[in-house]
Structure 1
Amino acid sequence: GKNTSAAAVITKQTQLEANLDLPGKLRLAVGAQANQLIVRMQTHDPLAETIAWPGPAISSVEQALPIGVYPDGTEVFIDLVAGHVLIAGGTDMGKSGVINCVIGNLVACDDAEILGIDMKPGALELGPWRRTMLALADDADGARQVLTMVKAEMIRRGKFLSTLRGPNGEPVRKWTSEHGPYWILVVDELAELLRQAPDVASELVTINQVARAMGIRVIAATQSPSEQAFGGKGTDARQQYSTRIGLPVFETEPINMIFGRGAYGRGWRLDWLDLPGKVMVSSRRYEKPREGRGYYVTDGDIVVVSEEHARYEDEAPAEPARPHPEPDPDPEPPTPPPGGGGGPRGGRPHLRPVPTFPDGSRVPDNRLPLWQALEKAGPEGLTKPEAVKRGICNHHTSIGPWLAQWVAAGWVEEDGKRDRAVVYVLTAAQHTPAPEASATSEENPACPASL
């Protein structure tokens, strides 16, 4: 009709299908012009049966990575070099299958190192790939360690690139496999990670925004692609994911959250995907909605491929901690040698625990010196003037709000005065050895080398 747009008709697809009473399913899309509606009737679904994964198909992360097929038999590709990848869809709708297909291809690439964060206890999804991964976390604290490791590598790579020059003396601004392997960080259950460790949101935003130029990519999978799952209002990182893979969902709102505002009306109808594993991919390669189906990766496939491409030995079980470890002179989190990890079947880098407050939240960098000073001070405590004298802050009033907040939380208590200044002491329940005095996992077996 004169006042009816193609997008408006698409939203009434179910009603239109019932009215026409055709012997098949309708597929609607906006045409080349705004007033054009493309109507297709599908009488046979070539994607109705599961499609077996053919195994690793690439040898470099810079190649297009196949994750499934379209009805005409052509493969569905993603380009990891182009940017970060978001995988989203309903429960049991195939996210794990896409993740396993991506990892199964990456393990065969010599120019890729894989790191994982799996928020299911025991890393049930990513755990079978453990021996192919540089690091794998299965809880909030382990996730903090992995993100610290990635951020440190990002900084190291940026400084390295700043020293390079092209053939005509021009600066080098992007990482390629010539500089070393790409790092691929796979995060399964992103929303759950941010629920358990909301303090890592800023780290993820930084990595999403900055790390791409340093050869670091993020593949994030979530059932809940809400604003909160990407750091909350003002820190929404969805725009940083240039490739978005949508699996079946049955409401309008999550479709628009995955593909962007108005996507539902433009034909990105994930509610039309009637089987687990069916996908729509939005990227520079695919700008229009098109239904495909991801490859089906069996548990047997994972066992065979992960064993064939294993790079790291399983870590030995941790032994009881020594009561008084020697101080570690290196305050920075260790990173692998330039370019990657320990090599085929080598050892993973040893990671230190990330400093956290008693409630499990991460200690911000600007507050860490004061927190560590209180831990070092022990029962003797610390005054504001002493903190200034030790160079912990530039002006003693700047730490007042922090101390007041910690006192209110019950982590710190006021314990009299010294030289007319209030003495602050960590409460007995919170006093633990300072993070800077903890040993690496090689020195202290209680700090696991494997996350």
Structure 2
Amino acid sequence: MTETDPLARPNPWPGHDHPATITKPIAIGVSEDGTAVTVLLLRRHVLIGGVVGAGKSGLVNTILAGLIPADDVTVWGVDLKGGMELGPWAQSLGRLATTPDDALTLFTAAWEELNRRTREQAQRGERTWNPTRERPALAILVDEFAELPPEALDIADSLARLGRAVAVTLIAATQRPTQDATGNGAIRSQMDVRIALRVRERADTDLILGAGAYKSGWRTDAFTLPGVFLILDPDHTTPTPHRAYLLDDDTVADITSRYPTPPALPARSDGPHTDHNPDPNSALWTALTATPDGASVPDLVTATGRSRRWVYYALQQLQEAGKVRQAAPGRWHATPHRP
């Protein structure tokens, strides 16, 4: 490659040229002709695959940089490397799971949220969920999807099949794009956006991009530079190489400092505000300790008068402090010591 080749060197992430929103494509890299390559994530699911050292983490960072500043999407993360990859983004994520048990809890909560949205849409007489600040989309990014426990993988399959209409997006990144790692093809078949970084075997290209992709010219086994990828989606239908933007640690720290997940969110706008208890934290604790069976998330929303996002964030903080536990799927109970 020559020095004039746009892919010869990684280009720094340029930031946003318009207010961040999930409703518009986000820029994730530079094409071989020097133009920005963008991808729309709303009502789409994403599969990212590539071997160790291919640049998967960098590409994940560019996606997070595009989503985190947007106030019409909540981002949850799963990083089963103990938070090594997504940890720097933790303060800007609505939830972050770093163990298999945490991942199952997160996906259970996502399934409950999907069903809540479905019911709400039916009540409103609307077919699709249009994201706003008050009713944000939900994006779940999983780093190393192949490590999910089977129970979480089953829920992920349901989210992929049913999430589009209610603006739930699944972003799955993996170093092992095998049949088993992606639910024997069930989840992979739901992925609208396929991004292939460097792979070792020709067959891996087909596993990421679809059967027959390699023979049709979609070949990434010869890539040598980290971050170089092919993207196949409704807006990218030719095998054009691109390279992901580079985000350094300082840029990530700057984004997360400017866009942290708020410790408390405004009261719900989709229902009456319960102002009989001015302290939502006290109301939350009262609801958690009221019955031996615990409380459901809808119960906690009603009790606190806050949004589901606020309730989930509060539960996550209490769980990390060892002060609440999930008594059953979708039900939470306080441990003996009050926070």
Match of 1:348 among 296, 313, 328: 313
User: Taking structure 1 as reference, are residues 213 and 339 closer, same or farther at Cα in structure 2, changes over 3 Å only?
Assistant: farther
Q: Is the 8 A contact 1:230 1:238 kept in 2?
A: yes
Deviates most, 43-52 or 236-245: 43-52
Deviation of 1:128 (Å) = 1.0
Name the SS for the 1:304 alignment partner.
helix
More deviation in 136-145 or 272-281?
272-281
| Paired residues of 1:227 and 1:236 also in contact (CA < 8 A) | no
1:264 equivalent to 2:214? Answer yes
Q: In the superposition, relative to structure 1, how do residues 326 and 43 fare at CA in structure 2: closer, same or farther (>3 Å)?
A: closer
Alignment of 1:364-383 (within 5 A): none
Q: Report Cα offsets for 1:333-361 as digits up to 9, x if no partner.
A: 5686897623xxx98141698xxxxxxxx
2:31 aligned residue (65, 70, 82): 70
Deviation at 1:44, TM superposition (A): 5.9
The percent of aligned pairs where both chains have the same amino acid is: 29
**Aligned with 1:52: secondary structure?**
coil
Query: Which of residues 68, 85, 90 in structure 2 aligns to 1:125?
Result: 85
Compute the TM-score of the two structures, normalised by the length of structure 2. Answer: 0.81
The residue that corresponds to 1:227 in the other structure is 179
User: 2:75, 2:141 within 8 Å by CA — same for their partners in 1?
Assistant: yes
- Greater mean deviation of Cα atoms: 51-60 or 298-307: 51-60
Corresponding residue for residue 131 of structure 2 = 177
Question: TM-score, normalization: structure 1?
Answer: 0.62
Q: CA deviation at 1:446?
A: 8.2
Matched residue pairs, number? 303
Counterpart residue number, 2:164: 212
Distance 2:195 2:326 in 1: 43
Which residue of the partner structure matches residue 151 of structure 2? 199
Q: Give me the whole-angstrom Cα distance separating, in 1, the residues matched to 2:336 and 2:15.
A: 37
C-alpha distance 328-303 of structure 1, shift in aligned 2 (>3 A): farther
SS in 1 for 2:124: coil
Bigger-Rg structure (1/2): 1
Retained in 2: the 8 A contact 1:131–1:313? no
Q: How does 1:22-421 map to 2 (within 5 A)?
A: 45-57=5-17, 58-121=19-82, 123-165=83-125, 172-178=126-132, 180-193=135-148, 197-232=149-184, 236-313=186-263, 327-333=291-297, 341-342=309-310, 348-350=313-315
Query: Which among 323, 327, 330 is matched to residue 435 of structure 1?
Result: 327
The alpha carbon displacement at 1:329 in A equals 4.4
Shift of 1:236: 2.1
Gaps of 5+ in 1: 1-23, 25-41, 166-171, 315-324, 354-432
State the one-letter code of the partner of 2:99: D
Matches of 1:84 and 1:339, distance apart in 2: 25
Task: Encode CA deviations 1:147-195: one digit per residue, 9 max, x unaligned.
Answer: 0110001000000000123xxxxxx2111125710000010000012xx
Contact 1:104/1:306 (CA < 8 Å) preserved in 2? no
Shift in alpha-carbon separation, 1:156–1:48, aligned structure 2, 3 A: same
Query: Cα gap change, 1:312/1:247 in structure 2, threshold over 3 Å: closer, same or farther?
Result: same
Distance (Å, rounded) in 2 between the aligned partners of 1:43 and 1:299: 25
Q: CA-to-partner distance for each residue in 1:79-129, whole Å, 9 max, x for gaps?
A: 1014001111110211111111111121111101010110102x1111111
Q: What amino acid does structure 1 have at the position aligned with 2:198?
A: P
Deviation at 1:55, TM superposition (A): 2.3
**Equivalent-residue separation in structure 1 for 2:326 and 2:6 (angstroms):** 61
Looking at structure 1, the residues matched to 227 and 34 of structure 2 have their Cα atoms a distance apart, in angstroms, of 16
Contact 1:56–1:108 under 8 Å retained in 2:
no
Between 1 and 2, higher relative CO (CA 8 Å, sep ≥ 6) is seen in 2
Could you list the per-position Cα deviations for residues 1-42 of structure 1 after superposition, in whole angstroms to 9, with x for gaps in the alignment? Answer: xxxxxxxxxxxxxxxxxxxxxxx8xxxxxxxxxxxxxxxxx9
In structure 2, relative to structure 1, the CA distance for the partners of 1:282 and 1:210 (3 Å cut) is same
Distance of aligned partners of 1:347 and 1:339 in 2 relative to their CA distance in 1, 3 Å threshold? closer
- Give matches, 1:3-22, under 5 Å: none
- Structure 2 CA distance for partners of 1:446 and 1:264, relative to 1, 3 Å: farther
Q: CA deviation at 1:332?
A: 3.2
